[in-house]
Amino acid sequence: MSRKADYTVNIQRLIPGDQEFDYRLGKEFLEENGYDEAENADINVKITVDKSETMVNAKLEIQGIIGLVCDRSLDEFDHHLEMTERVIFKFGDHNEELDDSLFLIERDTEKIDFGPLMFEIIRVSIPMKKLHPRFEDDDDDEENWYTFGDDGDDDEPDNGQDIDPRWEKLKGLKNK
């Protein structure tokens, strides 16, 4: 069994201001976190941490490529990643996740582990339906869509029939 890499940042030792941390992630990182559908991966993560008296503000810039297998053709293709996420760790009296990008941490917290956070951001960016780029245009054919109900043409009478005058007056009120 392989040893998990260390993606923690010691926030107690940080001086106020911006510090940068760079990580290079591969297929092993995804597999360690339970995602085994990637054929390969080459992901660069730059974390900029800004520590102040009341909070730690982190900006994660993720760029890279993940090799995926197309669900339709079983061909391998590269899925490009390029995203920026901001996460705030606010100092408080207990640990709590307030939002996807807002965490309350105890003031005496020594380290923040960015590994699970990086994995979550990357995992959310991988599409559920993995289609090779050559099939993406085929997937949006509107001629294969079925719609039910009214076609939105409320102004014209159906089948050339006359509309009851009471309904015409109601439509007149509706359009005012």
16-27: average pLDDT: 95
- Does this model's pTM top 0.85? no
CA distance linking residue 118 with residue 26, whole number of Å: 12
Strand partners, 105: 91
Residue 116 CB coordination number (10 Å) = 10
Instruction: Give a yes or no: residue 132 inside a domain.
Output: no
The mean predicted confidence, pLDDT, of the chain is: 87
Instruction: Give a yes or no: residue 172 inside a domain.
Output: no
| Higher pLDDT among residues 133 and 173, named by residue | 133
Instruction: Give a yes or no: residue 133 inside a domain.
Output: no
Instruction: Give a yes or no: residue 14 inside a domain.
Output: yes
Task: Provide the pLDDT confidence category of residue 1 given band limits of 50, 70 and 90.
Answer: very low
Q: How many structural domains is the chain composed of?
A: 1
Domain span holding position 84: 8-125
Strand partners, 65: 42, 80
Instruction: Give a yes or no: residue 79 inside a domain.
Output: yes
Instruction: Give a yes or no: residue 88 inside a domain.
Output: yes
Instruction: Give a yes or no: residue 136 inside a domain.
Output: no
**What is the structure's pLDDT at 162?**
76
Closest CA to 67 of 75, 79, 58, 55: 79
Instruction: Give a yes or no: residue 153 inside a domain.
Output: no
30-41: average pLDDT: 94
CA distance linking residue 96 with residue 104, whole number of Å: 5
CB 41 within 8 A of CB 66: yes
| Higher pLDDT among residues 3 and 78, named by residue | 78
138-167: average pLDDT: 63
pLDDT at 45 over 60: yes
Strand bridging mode 8-10 / 17-26 = unpaired
79-101 pLDDT, tens digit per residue, is: 999 999 999 999 999 999 999 99
